[in-house]
Structure 1
């Protein structure tokens, strides 16, 4: 099948992260089996989701990983004008949830499998398709754990996130945290007798804002990225019951998008220190069993690959350009790189269309990615 036909099949599977991806994974497994490729499925503990790993070519050496995630973000509340889980073609564009982020890349990889199989590959090609990337790069971690037991580690990884096929050597990391302020309620007419969870949460959020302003200072910038500094933001907040009740609880979620080399844990440690030294003593002076609790939500590292590396030279050859760039969003690439597998990011489509209603990918981007896959066959068969 051609990449456009495969993409239509993939879009038909509603693999929102909260749901199972097994139907899609089984479709890919059956397709690969028909091509003569053996697959390994790595399930989650509940066996409701799975990663897929497959190797084409010799098994006595490292090889190149082509990696993509199978999950997509929700469409709830978005004003789609087209059915999100049916592919629609209009004016040279293919619409549907996941067309750009990132089933288009997976479709191109799968379309190239017959060429991979028939080629006399000197270096193997590995396929790594994961679950739950969109909620914290969760699924790929079991792939990396599995690789630790392999006798030959891959020597390169290409993450196919949408970059318009521009080679990307770096991206930011992420730390997500939930903060729960446990106050003490009372009638609002006697407010000083209670501990206002929302007001204390507001102080913590103000502290976060101050940290973010400090991180934006010129001495902490890296102009290769946009924005060129680590960012901090509060994305969710909830608390309180009624205006005449001092709120007993407030929860808010915050994140750090960190430049490579910056330890996002510094922000969390500063927040904890502020809570423990400044806020909690004052809260407990009023009501002893009040507290502030921090809970990790998600974390993955940034990516920095040297322009002089072999994997950078490889992607320059395949993409036909060496104007290496960076992206602000995160990928599974930082985890591959952290595991000792040199990694780059390069895939069809544009992230400007990702996560939005009427998401699309240009057919021209698929065709260019198809050509890149053929160049990979030629390169690894040489």
Structure 2
């Protein structure tokens, strides 16, 4: 575990907040693997300011197992940290630092495993996959997955190391994030009926979203494996208006749908678009013909629903010593791996109860348990 702790200290020292580049961390991992004789591929974004990393250990002529993690972390701005966020602090059996739980702790354990993977004669390859921009909508991993689809041997299964306290997770909800721009017509507030108040019409659309969300809570649409057991809809951002004596011409709001695996989140967006087209926009354009309502997708990722009888589920059960499969409320890149035919499970050290919060930590006990789990994977894969 001391090696994992040492590597975690290095990883946390890199400020990989999603708005920043992750290249310093990626170069560190690249050099670490190169020193061990492992080559890796970097897949850059368009501006070459960020990159995914993909490496293979063991035979490359057959399907293998992916150990996957995202390198970006959420901001620390405005949070009351009592320790330096980007430096590892050990206290009372806990390792503090941004990303310690979500999810650099898992990445550190994977990197610490590299010497064992090199020494062991493996019957199938182990792949290390590190992505960027997971925290802002699972954006970066798409280019990595596109590269994997071009290969002769697509990986057999994937373990996403998000913090689950090392409990095997087979499912999570999908997510769709949308933006709605409402354009009306400004005028002096003394003559309000002559204008088209974009804020007021936006609130009608938001009220319709609330109604749609309420409909999704009916018992027949619920799944008790999830918390909450229904698909959810919520508006998280709204912007509009310049001054109280001006009828606002523009209003923008962002909303998200977190949908059960059996539900299509885009149906919520389609319902709202139909309501906008038939119930709201005609009244706006009756006052000013240039009025408009525009919807834009911000990000999305699919749900994950891995079969408990699958090879992936059975493997993680062996590694964890538990077949008490569960689901999580947060999303992962798992649904995207699964969508291209790579059966996926979620299992990693730490708890999301600590993720995204000030004084984020992973316990030393959890990190050691993750090391042990990955060592069992090596034994499982030995010839």
Length-normalised TM-score, structure 2: 0.99
Show the counterpart of 1:50.
Answer: 51
Structure 2 gaps, min length 5? none
Q: Output the CA distance in 2 between the equivalents of 1:78 and 1:201.
A: 31
Q: Does 1:62 align with 2:63?
A: yes
**1:163-202 to 2 correspondences below 5 Å:** 163-202=164-203
Q: Output the CA distance in 1 between the equivalents of 2:145 and 2:78.
A: 35
Q: Describe the SS at the equivalent of 1:180.
A: strand
Q: Output the CA distance in 1 between the equivalents of 2:271 and 2:304.
A: 24
Q: Output the CA distance in 1 between the equivalents of 2:267 and 2:195.
A: 32
Q: Output the CA distance in 1 between the equivalents of 2:207 and 2:258.
A: 18
Q: Output the CA distance in 2 between the equivalents of 1:250 and 1:224.
A: 37
Show the counterpart of 1:343.
Answer: 344
Question: 1:267-297 CA deviation, whole Å, 9 max, x = no partner?
Answer: 0001100001011110011011011110100
**1:358-377 to 2 correspondences below 5 Å:** 358-377=359-378
Q: Output the CA distance in 1 between the equivalents of 2:350 and 2:259.
A: 24
Question: 1:341 Cα deviation (Å)?
Answer: 0.3
**1:124-143 to 2 correspondences below 5 Å:** 124-143=125-144
**1:166-245 to 2 correspondences below 5 Å:** 166-245=167-246
Q: Output the CA distance in 1 between the equivalents of 2:221 and 2:51.
A: 40
**1:257-276 to 2 correspondences below 5 Å:** 257-276=258-277
**1:95-134 to 2 correspondences below 5 Å:** 95-134=96-135
Question: 1:150 Cα deviation (Å)?
Answer: 0.8
RMSD: 0.7
Structure 1 gaps, min length 5? none
Question: 1:303 Cα deviation (Å)?
Answer: 0.2
Q: Output the CA distance in 1 between the equivalents of 2:140 and 2:294.
A: 27
Q: Output the CA distance in 2 between the equivalents of 1:205 and 1:87.
A: 43
Deviating 4+ runs (over 3 angstroms)? none
Show the counterpart of 1:296.
Answer: 297
Question: 1:239-260 CA deviation, whole Å, 9 max, x = no partner?
Answer: 0011111111111100000000
Question: 1:85-120 CA deviation, whole Å, 9 max, x = no partner?
Answer: 111110000111000000000000000100001001
Question: 1:328 Cα deviation (Å)?
Answer: 1.1
Q: Output the CA distance in 2 between the equivalents of 1:143 and 1:203.
A: 40
Show the counterpart of 2:322.
Answer: 321
Question: 1:364 Cα deviation (Å)?
Answer: 0.4
Q: Output the CA distance in 2 between the equivalents of 1:15 and 1:201.
A: 35
Question: 1:123 Cα deviation (Å)?
Answer: 1.0
Question: 1:77 Cα deviation (Å)?
Answer: 1.2
Q: Does 1:279 align with 2:280?
A: yes
Show the counterpart of 2:27.
Answer: 26
Show the counterpart of 1:162.
Answer: 163
Question: 1:224 Cα deviation (Å)?
Answer: 0.6
Q: Does 1:151 align with 2:159?
A: no
Q: Describe the SS at the equivalent of 2:67.
A: strand
Length-normalised TM-score, structure 1: 0.99
Q: Describe the SS at the equivalent of 2:144.
A: helix
Show the counterpart of 1:36.
Answer: 37
Q: Output the CA distance in 1 between the equivalents of 2:81 and 2:240.
A: 31
Show the counterpart of 2:5.
Answer: 4
Q: Output the CA distance in 2 between the equivalents of 1:34 and 1:315.
A: 30
Q: Describe the SS at the equivalent of 1:2.
A: helix
Q: Output the CA distance in 1 between the equivalents of 2:220 and 2:152.
A: 44
Question: 1:32-82 CA deviation, whole Å, 9 max, x = no partner?
Answer: 011111110000010000000000000110000000000001111111111
Q: Output the CA distance in 2 between the equivalents of 1:36 and 1:91.
A: 37
Question: 1:126-173 CA deviation, whole Å, 9 max, x = no partner?
Answer: 000000000111111111100111111111100000000000000000
Q: Does 1:247 align with 2:219?
A: no
Q: Describe the SS at the equivalent of 2:357.
A: coil
Query: How many residues are paired up?
Result: 382
